[in-house]
Amino acid sequence: MNAIRRFFSEAFLSQKGRSAAFAAEEFVLFEIAYPLVTMIFYCLLASFSFGTVRLERWVIGNSFLLCTNACVFGTGRVFAMERYNGRLRSIIASPCNKLAVLLSNGVFPMLFALCAAVLGMLVGSVIFHADFSGVNLVLVAVAAVCAMISATGFGLLLASVCLISDSMHLILNIAAFLLMIFTGTEFPVERLSFAGQVFAWMMPLTKSVRATHLLLDGDSASYVPLVCAELLTALALVLLSFLILRFAETAARKNGRFDLF
């Protein structure tokens, strides 16, 4: 019980640390307004490039992509910020469970990402008159939760990678673009080359986005396997991030360069 309380306390404190520098209106601007503008931008682009007014696919897809802000740029900077604030050495040297530290940092970004996705769908359906009647919204919500868990796993992986690199902004921004290109939110994955498609299916969000697209088409047969595959992707990403963290930790203990990279 004490461990659970400490886990959520750590999650709350890390979120407080991330947002402490911002006033409430700036926080809203950055966490809500900016992601919504991003979604509107890509929906308008899709409307123009695909010459369509039926934007349900892009409203849902881009709502899922709103997690980028919280999961990639929020979670992805976790360890880089710990290093910047001088706390990384203490975390590594302490006997605490590193996986718990890693996961606790993902709790609030995941919740924010989920809120952003729901808000994105609501705002998108109002602005672009997206019609979701006939779509099982409970299944869409389940797919969204799985997508956010998976995206948070991706963020944690990026956070671990940032431990062994000094090009944090470069890595995080490229990751955000990869999500746009390889998850089928902006254009069908089938348009990519074979290698591109293989990579796309290894990425987070791809399966959830496909599942919701199928729901829009009235096909729910492949829904469960796709959502399960998304959860497996999340698990794989968290495990991979933990392995990278262990590798970075061992390397840092040997070289004594943890505060450098």
Binding residues for another protein, per CB under 8 A?
21-22, 26, 29-30, 33-34, 37-38, 40-41, 44-51, 166-170, 173-174, 177-178, 180-181, 186-188, 191-192
Comparing CB distances to another protein, the nearer of 57 and 207 is 57
Comparing CB distances to another protein, the nearer of 83 and 146 is 83
149 close to 234: Cβ distance less than 8 angstroms = yes
Shortest distance in whole angstroms from residue 86 CB to another protein: 17
CA 163 to chain centroid: 18
Shortest distance in whole angstroms from residue 109 CB to another protein: 16
Inter-residue long-range contacts of 37-43, CB under 8 Å, 24+ positions, other chains counted: 38/62, 38/65, 38/66, 38/69, 39/63, 39/65, 39/66, 39/120, 39/123, 39/124, 40/123, 40/124, 40/127, 42/180, 42/185, 42/186, 43/124, 43/127, 43/128
Comparing CB distances to another protein, the nearer of 187 and 242 is 187
Comparing CB distances to another protein, the nearer of 79 and 223 is 79
Shortest distance in whole angstroms from residue 23 CB to another protein: 9
178 close to 172: Cβ distance less than 8 angstroms = no
- Write out the DSSP string of 189-217: GGGS-HHHHHHHHHSSSHHHHHHHHHHHT
Shortest distance in whole angstroms from residue 68 CB to another protein: 12
Shortest distance in whole angstroms from residue 38 CB to another protein: 6
Q: What is the DSSP letter of 257?
A: -
Comparing CB distances to another protein, the nearer of 11 and 176 is 176
